[in-house]
Structure 1
Amino acid sequence: MPNLCEQRLEQHETRGHTLTLKVKFSDYHQITRSKTTITPISELDIIFEIAKVLFESIDLENRSIRLLGISLSNLDNAKQSQAIQLPLFQDADITWE
């Protein structure tokens, strides 16, 4: 059964080619890493696998992280031309606005 992230991508008939990871540190410095795939992705396990590889490529240098973001872009979609904000945690009772 697909989770909320996958359901929203499916509902909007959307898949993406580029996954971007943004890390903001407590000193307000930020690092952005991205990976573009040939085939579009929308499956959560692939999204998290790529995000994990991108995160592990960052030298954290014993620094505190204050914000971590993942976005999917370079979209293949038939229905929509705007970006979709997806929740980071599937089961959290937190709504991000």
Structure 2
Amino acid sequence: MPVNEQEKREKQMAKTAVLPVPASESPRDNALVRSRAFLTGVRSEMRKVSSPSREEVQTTTTVVILAVFVFAGFFYIVDSVLGFSLQAVLRWLGAS
């Protein structure tokens, strides 16, 4: 890209970056327009949401509870093995 074209683009970008808000449009009006657009978007997205059935909730709850117990058992075993190992090493090194 030639330097002149690049300078023109940079100047144009600088001009658009500093454009003032028109006097007829106050910041409050702009906030109201943006808020309304946001709420309209939220409403349209909420229409796409589907709730799980009772059977799906029960199934996932059961899976989560079983996973918690499996991980608790796993960490208990790992903690016990590491604890006994550490005690054995300390006794071997001469600790009481």
TM-score bin, normalised by smaller chain: under 0.3
Q: Larger % of strand: which?
A: 1
Q: State the structure with more CA Rg.
A: 2
More helix by share: 2
